[in-house]
Amino acid sequence: MNVQIQSVKFDADKRLVEFVNAKMAKLDRFAERSTGAEVILKLDKDHEKGNKFATITLHMPGEDLVACHQSKAFEESVDEAIDALKRQLDKFKAKFEK
């Protein structure tokens, strides 16, 4: 799967990029028909809820699946967004199996 990673308002270090690529590679096993993905990592000013956002867009034939999560660490945000995408993929697959 072709994964594009963007970091907004900061420069992502090599370790974070490798973490995101590893997680997206695992997601690729669930999304066989995926044509690509975009991961947007963004810093915000809200320190109460967590200022790190991860938005993942998974391009599937016919539609795009999008998940966004906010937390105090990028790793946690990416994990939660991928979990949400897995749930969306289950629904997406069920729709095509009918």
pTM value is 0.90
CA atoms in the 13 A half-sphere facing the CB of 71: 13
Better-scored residue on pLDDT, 62 or 8: 8
What's the pLDDT at 33? Answer: 82
What pLDDT does residue 45 have?
Answer: 81
At 48-94, the pLDDT tens digits run 778 899 999 999 888 899 999 999 999 999 999 999 999 999 998 88
Domain 3-97 fold: Double Stranded RNA Binding Domain (3.30.160)
Helix runs in the chain, H state only:
14-28, 74-97
Helix 14-28 vs helix 74-97: crossing angle, to nearest 10? 20
Q: What is the pLDDT of residue 98?
A: 63
What mean pLDDT value characterizes the chain? 90
Residue 13 is predicted with a pLDDT of 93
- Tell me the domain boundaries of the chain: 3-97
